Amino acid sequence: MNRTVDSDTVFGLVEMPDAIEAVRSAFVDFELGEFEMPTRLSLGESRFLVMPTYHRPTGSAVVKSLSLNFDRTPPISGTVTWVELATVNNLVIEAEAVTALRTGAAVGVATDLLAAPDASRLAMFGAGAQAYYQVQAVHAVRPLTQVKVVDLDPVRADNLVASLKTLLPDAAVRVAADGADALADADIVNCATTARSPLFSIDALAPSAHVNAIGAFKPGMRELPNELLAAATVFVDDQASVLAEAGDVIEAVGSGFVNADDLVPIGRALRQSPRRAARTVFKSVGIAAQDWAVAHLVARRSG
């Protein structure tokens, strides 16, 4: 039997800290080879994505199919289909909430592993559909005292600040004057934009800052400068996906700034608990194992 689950129901069933735990465990399972997961199918110049994965230990699978249009609200629309071999309890879940939770959760996992233990000041580049959940995820693992928001669109920046003031009533939250202002004292930097060129230069960044970048998901897009990718230890959700899709990493590898073999899968890092490196970057294009992790929670909790 197929049941449908809308995004409001997903947000009611899954809070960000649970999503972070689920995605953490999925990244480890992915590293252990427990997921069968082809690189996603990207059609119509990356405006339609199809992302399947099968999780062997539970005999369950998801297929996410999305349309992306950044001139539309919401920019991401589609479904996550959840199927189990043992039952016929299939779910068709609206993709918006699953995507926001699993993308935030990946950043929460990476920030927890890689940011300084006392990090509390965030620079948030991008004030679009993902931004609120990106901040929520960081706050779940590093309680925030300060957030500065940067977006080309001042209305979006203002709207995000207004909603973050409710999420973080005790933090100093404001629109940054510019990128340099946002980065001046940031311990953590989140990038969730549709930018096509680097958002800042490495000189603007504190040497100890940890950077999360989820925006660039096709070769023509970039958020991070080559110099940062060269100087940092770069963690990724999946090497093959990032090398196929992430414009900033593709550019840095192609121009000799980064050796593809040096990209560290986050699942491997989670198993090894590495010593904190001076400069760290987490680059994620988003993989189906993350969608599976949140859909698994929805399936368990929706009865």
Ligand X SMILES: NC(=O)c1ccc[n+]([C@@H]2O[C@H](COP(=O)([O-])OP(=O)(O)OC[C@H]3O[C@@H](n4cnc5c(N)ncnc54)[C@H](O)[C@@H]3O)[C@@H](O)[C@H]2O)c1
44 or 57: CB nearest ligand X: 44
- Distance between CA atoms of 90 and 95, rounded to whole angstroms? 15
In the list 20, 209, 269, 285, the residue contacting ligand X (rule: CB under 6 A) is 285
Beta-strand relationship, 41-43 and 48-55? antiparallel
Residue of minimal CB distance from ligand X? 128
29 or 151: CB nearest ligand X: 151
115 or 135: CB nearest ligand X: 135
**Residues numbered 198-227 forming contacts with ligand X, rule: CB under 6 A:** 199, 214-215, 217
Interaction between residue 65 and ligand X (CB under 6 A) = no
Q: In Å, how far are 1, 28, 122, 300 from 303, measured between CA atoms?
A: 13, 27, 37, 6
> In sequence order, what DSSP letters do the residues of 63-125 get, joined into one string?
EEEEEE-TTSSSSEEEEEEEEESS---EEEEEHHHHHHHHHHHHHHHHHHHHS-TT--EEEEE
Q: Which residues contact 106 (CB under 8 A, 6 or more apart)?
A: 23, 27, 214, 237, 266, 282, 284, 286, 290
**Residues numbered 84-103 forming contacts with ligand X, rule: CB under 6 A:** 99, 103
- Distance between CA atoms of 198 and 196, rounded to whole angstroms? 7
Beta-strand relationship, 41-43 and 90-94? unpaired
In the list 130, 136, 190, 241, the residue contacting ligand X (rule: CB under 6 A) is 130
Q: How far is the CB of 87 from ligand X (least distance, A)?
A: 29
In the list 27, 30, 35, 125, the residue contacting ligand X (rule: CB under 6 A) is 125
In the list 70, 172, 220, 254, the residue contacting ligand X (rule: CB under 6 A) is 70
| Among the residue ranges 108-116, 125-133, 202-210, 258-266, the one whose residues contact ligand X (CB under 6 A) | 125-133
- Catalog residues that contact ligand X under the rule CB under 6 A: 68, 70, 75-76, 99, 103, 125-131, 150-153, 156, 192-195, 199, 214-215, 217, 284-286
